């Protein structure tokens, strides 16, 4: 696949959060890294990357404001600082590279289950607040 075609495919992954992050000029490598970081629930690092990209990018004031508001509203709770250990991260990356969503969810779900109740609540609240809901079809 030509380079521009691959970037287009990866940018489609930026449709979440109303596509606000599509305004930034991402490279193929950056998009792949964001995908991996997102899969491993390394949200603090994703936020750092977006902030750094915003600083060096020439985007409209309107897009800049939208991104800044989104960064503020998406700020992850402390439970996600170093959320997965190295072994868990490797398992998630392997499952993610194989497009094994169930494998990713198994590792993340087990990690959440193993947390103390107050941290579990932080994690679940954050994830459910920022996950789009899927409505069942009307019958």
SS3 content of the chain, % helix, strand, coil (to 5): 75, 0, 25
The answer to whether residue 94 sits within a structural domain is: yes
What is the predicted pLDDT for the residue at 129? 83
The answer to whether residue 77 sits within a structural domain is: yes
Distance CA 107, CA 109 (A): 5
3 has a pLDDT exceeding 50: no
- pLDDT tens digits along 55-97: 999 999 999 999 999 889 889 999 999 999 999 999 999 999 9
Q: Which residues contact 95 (CB under 8 A, 6 or more apart)?
A: 101, 102, 103, 104, 106, 107
pTM of the complete model: 0.77
The answer to whether residue 136 sits within a structural domain is: no
The answer to whether residue 7 sits within a structural domain is: yes
> Are residues 73 and 20 in contact, defined by beta-carbon separation less than 8 angstroms?
no
Q: Which residues contact 57 (CB under 8 A, 6 or more apart)?
A: 24, 25
Enclosing domain of residue 84: 3-129
The answer to whether residue 43 sits within a structural domain is: yes
- pLDDT tens digits along 13-44: 566 666 778 889 999 999 999 989 989 999 99
The answer to whether residue 46 sits within a structural domain is: yes
């Amino acid at each position: 696949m030509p380079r521009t075609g691959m970037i287009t495919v990866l940018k489609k992954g930026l449709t979440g959060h109303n596509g606000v992050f599509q305004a930034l000029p991402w490279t193929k490598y950056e998009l792949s890294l964001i995908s991996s970081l997102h899969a491993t629930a390394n949200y603090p690092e994703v936020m750092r990357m977006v902030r750094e990209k915003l600083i060096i990018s020439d985007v409209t004031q309107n897009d800049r404001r939208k991104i800044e508001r989104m960064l503020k509203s998406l700020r992850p709770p402390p439970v996600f600082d170093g959320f997965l250990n190295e072994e868990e991260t490797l398992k998630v990356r392997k499952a993610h590279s194989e497009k094994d969503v169930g494998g990713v969810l198994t590792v993340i779900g087990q990690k959440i289950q193993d947390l103390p109740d107050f941290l579990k609540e932080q994690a679940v609240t954050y994830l459910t607040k920022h996950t789009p809901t899927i409505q069942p079809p009307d019958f």
